[in-house]
Homo-oligomer: A and B are copies of this chain.
Amino acid sequence: MDINVKEPFDRDRQFALKRQAVIRAAGLDFCKRGYHNTSMTDIASNLGLTKAALYYYVKNKGEVLFECHQQAYDAMDILLEKKLIWKNGLEKLGDLYCDFVRMLTASGISLLTDVNSLSEGNKIKVLKRRRKIESKIIKIVKQGQSDGSIREGDPRLHVFFFMGALNWLNAWYDNSGHFKGEDIAVHFATQMRLGIAAA
């Protein structure tokens, strides 16, 4: 048996899980009110904790912001690596994009835009990761242009366009609101696909 029944008693594991929860909660706060309009005390009290307890899990506020970014990119990387067989670049991209939206609406992970509040070192790391992901997506677009499923045009502009829609998602999406995550995912993926599909 692989299931570890003792897991809930594994303190390191509990610590890691709680730390993740802190990051995720902070991410939601940053998303809703903005990094600088959210104090460590806010984050703590939203978790039913005290500021001092937060500092038991994280070094400082900048680290929290950094980890929020990491979390989002980790999730995106996992979706990018999901290797299946696709008819063509367009299909591949459509499903990937759908997964991105699903992930952002369902997981509590926020794709933050505030890169300028990171320390210089972390900012570089985050931008590097973002570019890496972007370039993987651009590669899929080029693939689609080669196989004839995606229309011509600057691949970077193709990507900037629909990734913008994705980045804006967090600004307005509210999981207690009118739209269901899955519906948005399907709608957005369709609109994305049609925008770049070959005639």
Q: Which residue of B lies closest to A158 (CB)?
A: B191
Assembly CA distance A165 to B194 (angstroms): 15
Binds B, one of A9-17, A67-75, A79-87, A167-175: A167-175
Q: Tell me the minimal C-beta distance from A56 to chain B in angstroms.
A: 26
Tell me, yes or no, whether A55 is within 8 Å of chain B by CB.
no
**Among candidates B33, B163, B169, B197, residue contacting A194 with C-beta atoms closer than 8 Å:** B197
* A binding-site residues for B, Cβ under 8 Å: 32-37, 113-114, 116-117, 153-154, 157-158, 160-169, 171-172, 179, 183-184, 187-188, 190-192, 194-197
Residues of B within 8 A of A163 (CB): 168
Q: Identify 8 residue pairs between A and B in the complex whose beta-carbon atoms are under 8 Å apart, listed by A's number.
A: A33-B116, A34-B114, A157-B184, A161-B191, A164-B165, A167-B167, A168-B168, A192-B195
How many copies of this chain are found per oligomer? 2
Assembly CA distance A184 to B153 (angstroms): 11
B165 touches A116 (CB 8 A): no
Q: Is the interface of A mostly helix, strand, loop or mixed?
A: helix
Max chain B CB contacts within 10 Å: which of A113, A154, A164? A164
Assembly CA distance A86 to B11 (angstroms): 67
Assembly CA distance A179 to B161 (angstroms): 13
**Among candidates B116, B154, B160, B188, residue contacting A161 with C-beta atoms closer than 8 Å:** B188
Max chain B CB contacts within 10 Å: which of A113, A157, A162, A195? A195
B187 touches A154 (CB 8 A): yes
**Among candidates B172, B187, B195, residue contacting A153 with C-beta atoms closer than 8 Å:** B187
Given A165-B161, A165-B162, A168-B160: A34 in contact with B187 (beta carbons within 8 A): no
B194 touches A37 (CB 8 A): no
Assembly CA distance A90 to B94 (angstroms): 23
Assembly CA distance A82 to B34 (angstroms): 35
Residues of B within 8 A of A166 (CB): 164
